[in-house]
Chain A
Amino acid sequence: MNRWLKGSYLGLVYLFFYLPIGVLAVFSFNDSKYRLTWQGFTWRWYESLLANEELLQVALNSVLLALVSATLATLLGTLTAVTLYRYRFFGKKLLFGLLYVVILSPDIVMGISLLILFVSLQLPLGFWTLLLAHITFCLPFVAVTVYGRLSGFDDTLTEAARDLGASEWVTFRRVLLPLLMPAVIAGWLLSFTLSMDDVIISYFVTGPTFEILPLKIYSMVRIGVKPEVNALCTLMLGITLIMVLAAHFLLREQPT
């Protein structure tokens, strides 16, 4: 295979990835409700989003849910990663395996299994059930991200801390956590993204009292293509892009 052929194959696949979302983004600025052709630049679809108070409330709900679930998942996930790295304990391999299985398992199975759980516990479906579900699917991603940073870590630092009389908690708080911070923040950003984008699991554990954005978008896109929806989706794409890029650069710098 020559270089030209390789390059054009790569280009073709990237075009496949980016052309549809690019078209979506461009059309969100198109000054025409139905036409395919470019009718001039406009902000008006974004303005009409901002004027939609119901939609803003739903967006606020989603941001709140993502903030709380990402924070709690990051807390639990980081502790799990450190424990997996630092200690020997019964069932360690099983815990590892379980975290990977949660990442790999199809969303729909997690959605219905949590629905069955919440209904049997007679928990009303709404903010709290969404929160528990979102923490559960974000947690393993954080654990794996942070654990990745720990492998290849300099053990002499934690040993020095212990020799100087630090307790396990102090070692974690003062030595490990500062060094892990980039991975912890990256884990938080990815959790936030996962929470903001999840459709399938949320679809089963949501209730009428707490509407969230991905499900709102789902009900909007089922109706058809509308410029306001294009604008909303473009905003979501922008948020994801910023979060993922930030996480990527945080994880790229090597631990010292």
Chain B
Amino acid sequence: MRPAPRGSLFRNATLAVIWLWLLVFVLAPTAMVAVASLLERGTDQFVTAAFSLESFARLFDPLYFQVFWNSIYLAGVTTGLCLLAGYPFAWLIARAPGRIRPLLLLLVIVPFWTSSLIRTYAMVIILKANGLLNGLLLWFGAIDQPLMLLYTEAAVIAGLVYSLLPFMILPLYAAMERLDLRLLEAARDLGAGRTALFLRVVFPLTLPGMIAGCMLVFLPALGLFYIPDLLGGAKILLLGNLIKDQFLAARDWPFGSAVSVVLLLFMALFLLALVYVRRRRADAEAAL
């Protein structure tokens, strides 16, 4: 393509607007979170201009430390379950006959865009004491009286998986659909067994999709505060609940910001992993 003229008003005006927008509403606010996390809590204002690492130190306060680890544990279990369920599922859609593949994909895209709050509420209806699951179990005679399914850790994990599974499947599907099937044939012809085929060909080629999927599940699983609110009662807290309470109830902005910075650091780790894997793959392709 011939480069378009550099000096056009259209180009410059658009660039100015979009950069200004991102600067004011994305970059500056994110920087403000980072700065707030390093300041002291104010008396009449939310923060005072005094440097302090106290907010980060408080993360190790036993009270918050437990919330912190429990949230990471829940997000980790959720991510693991989504990967376990989503990987074969995405593979089956990607390898489905071309005729039905668009429909199978659409059936994942719809829950992807559907309000996760409403889907969480639907989960409440299923798990209630007089809900569908208990009703079915009673009817089959598997239990004598309704189980307490709601307000448990399992309910929170079920809600997180229910909300986030499409976010694992779609990036995995994108990676698998692009996968060149001739590579599988070549590996098979060269005598690779099923395990070797997966570990040495399929796994490395779908790794970027896996990392992207894990990021899209893990980070929201730390933040979706309404899921433990609706399914876990008051006992189970996510980092999201902690942040929300610090900003809207306790009014401790530096501490709330410090927790958010931890979330941003997790995100940075995922992004670095993604860049690293992509670059290694580009190098490998260049070497061929």
Contacts and interface: CB of A to CB of B under 8 A. Distances in A.
A110 B25 CA distance: 9
Contacts of A6: 92
Contacts, number: 230
B205 interface: no
B114 A237 contact: yes
Given A102-B26, A197-B117, A108 B130 contact: no
Interface string B1-42: 111111011110011011101101111111011001000000
B109 interface: yes
Contacts of B49: none
A50 interface: no
A101 interface: yes
Contacts of B29: 110, 113-114, 116-117
Interface magnitude class on chain A? 35 or more
B32 A169 contact: no
Interface secondary structure of B, over-half rule: helix
Contact of A119 (B28, B46, B123, B222): B46
B287 to A, nearest CB: 23
A107 B26 CA distance: 12
Interface residues of B, number: 87
B117 A21 contact: no
Interface stretch (B62-70, B180-188, B196-204, B259-267): B259-267
B112 to A, nearest CB: 8
B269 interface: no
B267 A20 contact: no
Interface string A155-196: 100110010000111001000000000000000001001001
A95 interface: yes
B236 to A, nearest CB: 15
14 contacts: A9-B92, A19-B132, A20-B162, A23-B126, A24-B118, A36-B132, A79-B14, A79-B18, A89-B11, A104-B216, A110-B29, A119-B46, A200-B223, A245-B106
Interface of A: 6, 9-10, 13-14, 16-21, 23-24, 27, 34, 36, 76, 79-80, 82-83, 86-89, 91, 95, 98, 101-102, 104-110, 112-117, 119-120, 132-133, 135-136, 139, 155, 158-159, 162, 167-169, 172, 190, 193, 196-197, 199-200, 203-204, 214, 217-218, 221-222, 225, 229-230, 233, 236-237, 240-241, 243-245, 248, 252
Interface of B: 1-6, 8-11, 14-15, 17-19, 21-22, 24-30, 32-33, 36, 46, 85, 88-89, 92-93, 102, 104, 106-111, 113-126, 128, 130-132, 135, 162, 165-166, 215-216, 219-220, 222-226, 229-230, 240, 243-244, 247-248, 253, 256-257, 260, 263-264, 267, 271
